[in-house]
A and B are shown apart, each in its own frame.
Chain A
Amino acid sequence: QVQLQESGPGLVKPSETLSLICTVSGGSINGYYWSWIRQPPGKGLEWVAFIYYSGRTSYNPSLKSRLTISIDTSVNQFFLNVRSVTAADTAIYYCARHMDTPGNEAFDIWGPGTVVTVSS
């Protein structure tokens, strides 16, 4: 079955750029929407961005100016860059697949998450 795996640097310095990778295995990245969702320590979930396999994107309005989401269908991976990070970007970052329904609004498969800490 389809599995997702996030990878990232673990520790990022303030003002630098955070780069994350989500690798899709057991199925194709084509035909689906894919999202990044994050969870600060002890807090709730926050939707960050999505990308369709064709390249169409959408971003959380509160983060949009610092984000870039991209996809490489040839290697079954999608990516997230967060620029000018601060301590508020410290979180577990999850990648997730959108369910294949008319609304594409639910996240039916999640990766285990990768911990990102912003600190000097």
Chain B
Amino acid sequence: QSALTQPRSVSGSPGQSVTISCTGSSSDVGGYNYVSWYQQHPGKAPKLIIYDVDKRPSGVPDRFSGSKSANTASLTISGLQVEDESDYYCCSYAGRSTRVFGGGTQLTVL
């Protein structure tokens, strides 16, 4: 069970859009519509922002959106705000009741 692959870092300016990719295999991302995304600020617990590939929990702004194509899931943040600067992690169901996380992406809002 290998960690999903995410870019180490991405950046954008306020108001712009950024996309974070999460690449796995047909055994995890590509095999199930069970990808979730988490935002983690320094020293804090992760917060769920996307589940089931493209669904937003109540209270999460619609600036956050998710999608998937083949073995790669993506998180897009539009209208970047300073408070979006954080670490982001993807997670996928990986079969046999297991889950696997991505390595994490640090988003910098310039």
Residues of A within 8 A of B (CB): 35, 37, 44-47, 50, 58-62, 94, 99, 101, 103, 105-108, 110-113
Contacts and interface: CB of A to CB of B under 8 A. Distances in A.
Interface string B25-67: 0000000111010101000011110011000010000000000
SS of A interface (majority) = loop
B67 to A, nearest CB: 16
Contacts of B40: 45
Interface of B: 1, 3, 32-34, 36, 38, 40, 45-48, 51-52, 57, 89, 91-93, 96-104
A105 B102 contact: no
Given A58-B96, A60-B1, A45 B48 contact: no
Nearest to A33: B97
B34 A103 contact: yes
A61 B1 contact: yes
A105 B96 contact: no
A110 B45 contact: yes
Contact of A44 (B34, B96, B103): B103
Contact of B1 (A50, A62, A101): A62
Nearest to B101: A45
A105 B51 contact: yes
A58 B48 contact: no
Contacts of B46: 45, 94, 107, 110
